[in-house]
Structure 1
Amino acid sequence: MTVTDRGTFPLTMGVEEEFILLDSDTGALAPVASQLPADLEGHAGIKPEAMRYQLETVTGVCASLEQVAREVAQRREIAAEAAERLGCHLVASGVAPGCLPGLAPLTDHPRYRELARRFPRLVATTGTCGCHVHIGIPSREMGLQVIGRLRPWLATLLAISANSPIADHRDTSWASWRYRRWSRWPSATAPRAWPSVEDYDAEVRALIRSGKILDERSVYFYARLSPRYPTVEVRVMDTCLSADDTVLVAALVRAMVATAMEDVRAGTPVTPLPDHPSRLLCAPPRGMDRVG
C-alpha cells in the first residue's frame, strides 16, 4: 500500500485518563461514580467508567501541548473536587491498591452488562486505569502505517508511564500490574503491520465473529485506529501519577506519530518484529532490573 498524503497536517491531540475512587476514611474502593451530580456528569469531560469506583476525564481536541497541559490539569482538579464531595479521593493509579469486589460495582449500562455476561472473569478485574492518547491523522491509510511503526516504541511508553505496583494490598514487584491484568483480554496485543486497511478491518470483524470481542470498541490493541474518531489511539500507558507526566507522554506519542508519518512519506520500510505481538511487551519492574 502506498500512502500519498503530502504537505503538513496539524497533529491535534486528545487525552483520556481513568482514575480510581477510594473512600477518604477507609481507603476502600468507593463505588460512587453514579452519584455524580447531574450537572457535572458529562461536563468538562468527566464521566463514569466501567466500574462505579472509576472516573474518566477527557480533554477536547487540543492543538498544542500547552492546551493539553491546561485541560488535563483542569479535568483532574474538577474530578478531584467532585470526588471529595462524594467523600472519597481521586487516585491516579493503573489499578486499585486493594482487593477487587468482583462484578458488584459494575456500571449499569447495556454495553457493560453484555461484556460482563460474555466475559465475567475478565470484567471482574477490568477496573484498570489507562492513559489513552489520540493523535489526529489525515486518513485511515496513514494511521494504519503509523501504528505499525509505533510498535517498537510501545514498551518504552509503558515503562515511562508505569504506575501500578500495588494490588491486592501487596507489592506485586511489577511497575505496571495494570498491564498484567489488561493483557488477559484476547485483543490486548501489540499492533501488527497490516498490509491494508481492509486487512485491519477484516481482523477486527474476525475477532467479533469469533466472540473474542464484543464490538469495535473492544479492540484493545496497544495502538489502534480509533473506532470513533479520525485518530491513532495509543492505549498502552498506565494513568500517570501527575499531570506533568501525562503531558510528557502525550508529547512523546505526538513526536512518535509525526516521525512515523515522515517515514511513511519517505518510503522507509517498517522494522520487522517477531510474529507474537502479545509477547512483545513485558511490564517493566521498578528499576528496570528484570526483562522477560
Structure 2
Amino acid sequence: MRSVGVEEELLLVDTDTGEPLAVAGAVLAAADRAAGGADEENGKEAGHTFEAELKEEQVEFATKPVTEMGELRDEIVRWRAEAARHAAVAGAAVAAVATSPLAVRPSMSPGRRYAWVARQFGMTAQEQLTCGCHVHVSVDSDEEGVGVLDRIRPWLPVLTAISANSPFWQGEDTLYGSYRSRVWNRLPSAGPVDVFGSADRYHAEVRAMVDSGVLRDRGMLWFDARLSASYPTVEIRVADVCLDASTPVLLAALVRGLVETAARAWQAGEPPARVSTGLLRLASWQAGRSGLDGPLLHPHTLRETSPEEALEALYGHVADALADSGDEELVRAGIARLLEHGNGARVQRDLLRSQGDLASVVRHCARRTIADAHGDLPGR
C-alpha cells in the first residue's frame, strides 16, 4: 500500500484578540527546548517536526509517512496539539485557518532565501500569509510519478473545494471559499500545468524554469502537483489547511486513491485526458470561488455542476483504489459529513453570523484546531 504524509501550515494568533502574531521564532525555540529535554530523558534522539515558513505568523509541521488513515489522524492530532503547546509558551494559539480573518501586515521570516523571495516578488510576497495542506503519496519512480501528475490534473480543483477554509481577507468577506488559492496563484510558477508525458520532459521543464532566473531553485516550482524534491513522492498542493483534523485525513485518502488510480492507468498505457491548462485554471478558480457552496466544473466535462455531483464523480473515479486500501467507508462518511455540515469556509461564515465578530471566529477556530478527531473515523 502506498504511504501517505501530510504537511500543515498553522496560523499563530493572539489568544484574546485573534490577531496574527509574529512569534514563529519563539515557537520553534520552545519546540527545540522540549525536544532537547526529551532527548536527555529518553537517552535517544526525539526531535520535532516543526519548521519556519515564509511568514513569522505561521508554523509548519509534517507527519511521518504512514499507510493507515487512523495512524495519519493520530499524527495530525498529535502535532497540532504540540504546536499549540509550544505556541502557548510564546503567548499565542494556533488556528487551522488558511488566511487570517483579521487585518494583518505580515512579517517575513529571517533568512537569505526568504530575503530573496521578498526582493523578487515584492508585494506578492509581502501579502503572502496563507496556510496550506500538502499531501505526499509514495511512487516507485519519477516515470510513474509524472504518469500520475499527467492523469490527476482534472481532479485537483475538487480537492480545493473540499478543503476551502479561507473566506476572509483583511477583515472582509471575499465571497470566495478559498481565497488562499487566489492569493497563492499570484506566484509565477503556481497553478495547473501541462501534460509532461515523461520524467525527462518534466525535469527539462523544471531546469528551464530555474535557469530563467525568475525562480531561485526548484523548491519554488509551486505547481498544483509536483514531484517532491526531497522524497520519493508526488506532492499535491492545492488544499487549504483544514479546520477539523478529520478533513486532511479525508483528503489524504482521496489523494492516495487518485495516485493509485492514475498509476494503474499509466501502467496500462491509458493516455491522460487532454484537458487544456486554460480550462483547468477556470476549474481551479471556480473551486476557490465556490468551495462546497456553489457550482463547480465537472472533472469529466469541464461544465458547471453541483458540488454533490463533482464529489460523486471523484468518488466513482477512485472507488476501486479505495476498496483495495480499505478507505471507502471513511471517504463515504467524510464526504457525507462535509456536504451536510460544510467545510471550513462555511463554518467560519456561520460563526461570524452567530458570534458577531471576526475575533470570536478566530478564537473558536483555534479551539477547534486542537479538538480530538477520534470520533470522526469509522470503526474507532
Return the TM-score normalized by structure 1: 0.91
Q: Against the structure 1 CA distance between its residues 250 and 287, is the aligned structure 2 distance closer, same or farther, given a 3 Å change threshold?
A: closer
Contact in 1 for aligned 2:209/2:215 (Cα 8 Å) = yes
Equivalent AA in structure 1 for residue 103 of structure 2: C
The answer to whether residue 18 in structure 2 is matched with residue 27 in structure 1 is yes
| Corresponding residue number in structure 1 for 2:3 | 12
Counterpart amino acid of 1:255? Answer: G
* Aligned CA distance change for structure 1 residues 287 and 250 (closer, same or farther; 3 Å): closer
2:57 is matched with 53
Write the distance in 2 (CA, Å) between the matches of 1:148 and 1:165: 30
Deviations 1:128-167 (A, max 9, x none): 1100000010000000010111111101000001100011
Shifted more, 48-57 versus 229-238: the winner is 48-57
Aligned to 1:100: 104
Contact map agreement 2:169 2:179 (CA 8 A) in 1: yes
Cα distance in 2 between the residues matched to 1:98 and 1:260? 40
Aligned to 2:127: 125
Partner of 1:281: 284
Report the 3-state secondary structure (helix = DSSP H, G, I; strand = E; otherwise coil) of the residue aligned with 1:128: coil
SS at match of 1:269: coil
- 2:343 is matched with which residue? none
Cα distance in 2, alignment partners of residues 246 and 287 from structure 1:
16
In structure 1, distance between residues paired with 2:234 and 2:265: 16
**By how many angstroms is 1:291 displaced?**
5.4
Aligned CA RMSD, in angstroms, stands at 1.7
Deviation at 1:22, TM superposition (A): 0.8
Question: Are the equivalent residues in 1 in contact too, given 2:152–2:262 (CA < 8 A)?
Answer: yes
1:288 match: secondary structure: coil
Query: Secondary structure of the equivalent of 1:44?
Result: coil
Shift of 1:99: 2.4
Provide the residue aligned with 1:140 in structure 2. Answer: 142
Q: Which segments of 5 or more consecutive residues in structure 1 lack a partner in the other structure?
A: 1-9
CA positional deviation for 1:248: 0.5
Aligned-partner residue type, residue 33 of structure 2? D
Higher helix content, 1 or 2: 2
State whether structure 2 residue 159 is matched by structure 1 residue 168: no
Deviation for aligned residue 1:56: 0.5
Q: Which residue of 1 aligns with 2:349?
A: none
151, 154, 172: which is aligned to 2:153? 151
Compared with structure 1, are the counterparts of its residues 64 and 287 closer, same or farther at alpha carbon in structure 2 (3 Å cutoff)? closer
Deviations 1:153-211 (A, max 9, x none): 10100000110001110111100000010000111121321022121112112222223
Q: Secondary structure, in 3 states, of the residue corresponding to 2:235?
A: strand
- Counterpart residue identity of residue 57, structure 1: F
**Alignment check: 8 A CA contact 2:194 2:276 kept:** no
| Counterpart residue number, 2:372 | none
Instruction: Assess if the C-alpha contact under 8 Å between 1:164 and 1:177 holds in 2.
Output: yes
Could you tell me which residue of structure 2 aligns to residue 272 of structure 1? 274
Measure, in 1, the Cα distance between the counterparts of 2:282 and 2:189.
Answer: 13
Count of matched residue positions in the alignment of Structure 1 and Structure 2: 281
Deviation of 1:50 (Å): 1.3
Contact kept, 8 Å, 1:147 with 1:191, in 2: the verdict is: no
- Tell me the residue number matched to 1:79: 83
* Aligned pair partner of 2:201 in 172, 195, 199: 199
User: Which amino acid is 2:216 matched to?
Assistant: L
SS of match in other structure, 1:133: strand
Letter in 1 for 2:284: L
Query: Is 150-159 or 18-27 further displaced after alignment?
Result: 18-27
Give the percent of matched residue pairs that are identical in Structure 1 and Structure 2. 36
- Counting only pairs closer than 5 Å after superposition, residues 208-223 of structure 1 correspond to structure 2 as 208-223=210-225
Distance 1:287 1:248 in 2: 15
Deviation at 1:48, TM superposition (A): 2.1
Distance 1:157 1:273 in 2: 17
Please report how far the alpha carbon of residue 43 of structure 1 lies from its aligned counterpart in structure 2 after TM superposition: 3.6
Q: Distance in 2 between matches of 1:145 and 1:287?
A: 29
Matched residue, 1:239? 241
Distance change >3 Å, CA 247–CA 189, structure 1 → 2: same
Distance 2:26 2:265 in 1: 48
The one-letter amino acid of 1:39's match is: R
* 1-structure distance, mates of 2:55, 2:128: 8
Provide structure 2 residue ranges, at least 5 long, that are not aligned to the other structure. 36-45, 298-380
* Alignment partners' CA distance in 1, 2:62 and 2:294: 34
Indicate if the aligned counterparts of 2:145 and 2:233 stay in contact, CA closer than 8 A: yes
Deviation larger for 204-213 or 70-79: 204-213
1:39 correspondence with 2:53: no
Query: What amino acid does structure 1 have at the position aligned with 2:6?
Result: V
Counterpart for residue 7 of structure 1:
none
Distance in 2 separating the partners of 1:275 and 1:188: 12
The worse-fitting range, judged by mean Cα deviation, of 276-285 and 247-256 is 276-285
The answer (yes or no) to whether the contact 1:188–1:278 under 8 Å persists in 2 is no
Using the TM superposition, give the Cα deviation of residue 233 of structure 1 relative to its aligned residue in structure 2, in angstroms: 0.2
Residues 53 and 59 in structure 2, CA contact (< 8 A), matched pair in contact too:
yes
Q: CA deviation at 1:74?
A: 0.3
